C-alpha cells in the first residue's frame, strides 16, 4: 500500500513541541510496514511565531498548512503575551488558522479506559464503559460572530451569537454520520428555553434527523448536559452542540478519562483537516518532560482515520494506547498521589518514555496483524 502525505507540524508553545515529537514518532512506525512517505514540515504558530515574526500566524505558516494533506498542532498560548491585544495574542493565530482551513466540525472523543478509571475524580462505577464523542460546531457562534468589542471607555463589552441554518445542517450531518458508526444515538445540546439561536439549532437538527431514521435523537439543555456528563456519562454516545457549549462540555468530559492530557481532537470538513490534543500549552510544566503525550497520539490516530484513510491502523494505534495503560505505564497526571499502594505498582514515565511505549505497542499490533495475513 503506497501512502504519501504532507503533514504540516505546528508544535507551538509550552508542552506542544514535546507532545508533537511523540506523535511523529508513532506515525513514523508505519514506515516499517507500508510504502509510506509521511513528510513532516515544521512551522511556527502562536507565541513561538510572535517571538520570531511578531505575528501569531505568519503567512508562510498559513500557506504551508493550506498546501498540506493534514495539519497537526501542539498547543498555543503563553502568559508572557497576555498583555497584547486580542488580535495579536497566540490564540488569535489559532482562530485565524481554523477559519482559513475551513474545518467546521470539531471531534473530541472522551473514553474511560479501565486501567486508569481510578484516575477520574468520578466514581469508577459511574465512568466504567463511558465513550462520548463531542461534535462541536467550530466556525460560528459567539467566538466568530460580529459585532463584538467594547463600549465607550471600555465600561461595557458585547459579543454576538449567530447561526444560520446551513451552518447547523452541515455539522449535524457529521454527527449523525458518525453516530451510525457507533451506538446510533445523538444528543443535541442547546439552550432553547432562552436563546433564539438555540431554538433555530433545535428546529434545524430535528429536520436533519429525518434523513437518519436509524439514529435516535434526543435534546438536552446545556446545564442539564453538564450535570449528566458527571453523574451518568454512559448515557451519551454522540454529543452535538454549538461552539461555546462544545468548548466547555468537551473539556468537562476530561473527568471521564481522568486527565485532560488524554483527550485528542480532529477538526474536519474544510480544505485541510486539523488535529490537536485538547490540553493546551500547560506552561507550568513545559520543558520538564512530564507532559502526557497520549492526547497528541490519540490525535495522530484520528489523522490516520480521517485524513490518511487508514481506519484499521487508527484502531491499532488506539488499542496500543490501551495496551500501554494496561501494562501500568503512567505519566505524572495519571498517578493519584493519595493512592500510594496502587501507584507503587505502576511505572512513572516521562513524555518521551510514554511515546516509546506506545510506539512499541503499536508495532506489536502491526506485527501481529501482518503475521496473521502472512499465514
- Catalytic one among 223, 271, 309, 339? 223
Whether pLDDT at 195 is above 60: yes
Output the nine-digit C-alpha cell for 226.
Answer: 453538564
- Phi/psi of residue 363, nearest 5 degrees: -60, -40
For residue 375, what pLDDT is reported?
45
**Average of per-residue pLDDT across 130-147:** 95
Whether pLDDT at 102 is above 80: yes
Q: Which residues pair with 279 in a beta bridge?
A: none
Sequence-separated (6 or more) residues with CB below 8 Å from residue 138 = 98, 103, 104, 105, 106, 243, 246, 267
Q: Using pLDDT thresholds of 50, 70 and 90, give the confidence band for residue 218.
A: very high
For residue 340, what pLDDT is reported?
47
The predicted-structure confidence for 175-185, as pLDDT tens digits, reads as follows: 999 999 999 99
How is the beta sheet containing 264-268 ordered, strand by strand? 35-42, 2-12, 70-75, 274-277, 264-268, 105-111, 131-137, 238-241, 185-190, 216-221
For residue 244, what pLDDT is reported?
97
pTM score of the predicted model: 0.92
Distances (CA, A) of 327 to 66, 174, 186, 320: 40, 35, 34, 11
- Catalytic one among 41, 251, 315, 356? 251
Q: Decide if 172 contacts 204 (C-beta within 8 A).
A: yes
- Catalytic one among 143, 184, 216, 356? 143
All structural domains of the chain: 1-113+258-375 (3.40.718.10), 121-256 (3.40.718.10)
Distance CA 341, CA 347 (A): 13
Residue 247 known to be catalytic: yes
Whether pLDDT at 343 is above 70: no
- Catalytic one among 13, 191, 316, 333? 191
Distance CA 139, CA 155 (A): 28
Over the range 154-191, which residues count as b (16 or more CB within 10 Å of their CB) and which as e? eeeeeeebebeeebbeebbebbbebbeeeeeebbbbbb
Whether pLDDT at 341 is above 80: no
Residue 69 known to be catalytic: no
Whether pLDDT at 346 is above 90: no
For residue 339, what pLDDT is reported?
52
Residue-averaged pLDDT of the chain: 94
Residue 223 known to be catalytic: yes
For residue 345, what pLDDT is reported?
64
For residue 60, what pLDDT is reported?
98
Q: Using pLDDT thresholds of 50, 70 and 90, give the confidence band for residue 87.
A: confident
Give the DSSP H or E segment for 219: strand 216-221
- Of 254, 298, 291, 256, the closest CA to residue 276 belongs to 298
Whether pLDDT at 373 is above 80: no
- Catalytic one among 13, 247, 323, 333? 247
**Average of per-residue pLDDT across 96-116:** 95
- Give the other-Cβ count within 10 Å of 102's Cβ: 17
Distance CA 303, CA 324 (A): 20
Residue 33 known to be catalytic: no
- Of 244, 240, 186, 189, the closest CA to residue 215 belongs to 186
Output the nine-digit C-alpha cell for 108.
Answer: 473530541
The predicted-structure confidence for 19-51, as pLDDT tens digits, reads as follows: 999 999 999 999 888 888 899 999 999 999 999
Residue 59 known to be catalytic: no
Amino acid at each position: 500500500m503506497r501512502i504519501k502525505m504532507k503533514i504540516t507540524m505546528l508544535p507551538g508553545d509550552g508542552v506542544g513541541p514535546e507532545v508533537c515529537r511523540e506523535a511523529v514518532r508513532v506515525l513514523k512506525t508505519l514506515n516499517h510496514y507500508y510504502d509510506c512517505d509521511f513528510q513532516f514540515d515544521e512551522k511556527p504558530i502562536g507565541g513561538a511565531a510572535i517571538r520570531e515574526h511578531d505575528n501569531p500566524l505568519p503567512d508562510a505558516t498559513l500557506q504551508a498548512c493550506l498546501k498540506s494533506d493534514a495539519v497537526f498542532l501542539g498547543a498555543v498560548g503563553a502568559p508572557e503575551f497576555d498583555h497584547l491585544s486580542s488580535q495579536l495574542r497566540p490564540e488569535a493565530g489559532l482562530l485565524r488558522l481554523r477559519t482559513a482551513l475551513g474545518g467546521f466540525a470539531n471531534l473530541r472523543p472522551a473514553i474511560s479506559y479501565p486501567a486508569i478509571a481510578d484516575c477520574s475524580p468520578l466514581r469508577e462505577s459511574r465512568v466504567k464503559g463511558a465513550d462520548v464523542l463531542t461534535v462541536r460546531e467550530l466556525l460560528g457562534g459567539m467566538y466568530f460572530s460580529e459585532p463584538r468589542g467594547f463600549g465607550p471607555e471600555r465600561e461595557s463589552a458585547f459579543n454576538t451569537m449567530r447561526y444560520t441554518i446551513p451552518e447547523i445542517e452541515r455539522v449535524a450531518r457529521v454527527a449523525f454520520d458518525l453516530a451510525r458508526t457507533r451506538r446510533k444515538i445523538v444528543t443535541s445540546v442547546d439552550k432553547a428555553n432562552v436563546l433564539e439561536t438555540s431554538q433555530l439549532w433545535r428546529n434545524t437538527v430535528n429536520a436533519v434527523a429525518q434523513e437518519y431514521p436509524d439514529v435516535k435523537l434526543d435534546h438536552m439543555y446545556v446545564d442539564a448536559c453538564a450535570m449528566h456528563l458527571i453523574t451518568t456519562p454512559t448515557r451519551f454516545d454522540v454529543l452535538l452542540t454549538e461552539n461555546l457549549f462544545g468548548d466547555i462540555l468537551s473539556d468537562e468530559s476530561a473527568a471521564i478519562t481522568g486527565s485532560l492530557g488524554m483527550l485528542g481532537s480532529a477538526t474536519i470538513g474544510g480544505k485541510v483537516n486539523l488535529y490537536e490534543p485538547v490540553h493546551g500549552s500547560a506552561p507550568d510544566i513545559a520543558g520538564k518532560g512530564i507532559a502526557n503525550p497520549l492526547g497528541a497520539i490519540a490525535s495522530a490516530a484520528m489523522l490516520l482515520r480521517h485524513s490518511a484513510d487508514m481506519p484499521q491502523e487508527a484502531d491499532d494505534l488506539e488499542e496500543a494506547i490501551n495496551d500501554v495503560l494496561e501494562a501500568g505505564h503512567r505519566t505524572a497526571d495519571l498517578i493519584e498521589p493519595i493512592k500510594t499502594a496502587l501507584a507503587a505498582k505502576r511505572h512513572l514515565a516521562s513524555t518521551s518514555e510514554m511515546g516509546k511505549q506506545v510506539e512499541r505497542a503499536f508495532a506489536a499490533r502491526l506485527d501481529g496483524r501482518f503475521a496473521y495475513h502472512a499465514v
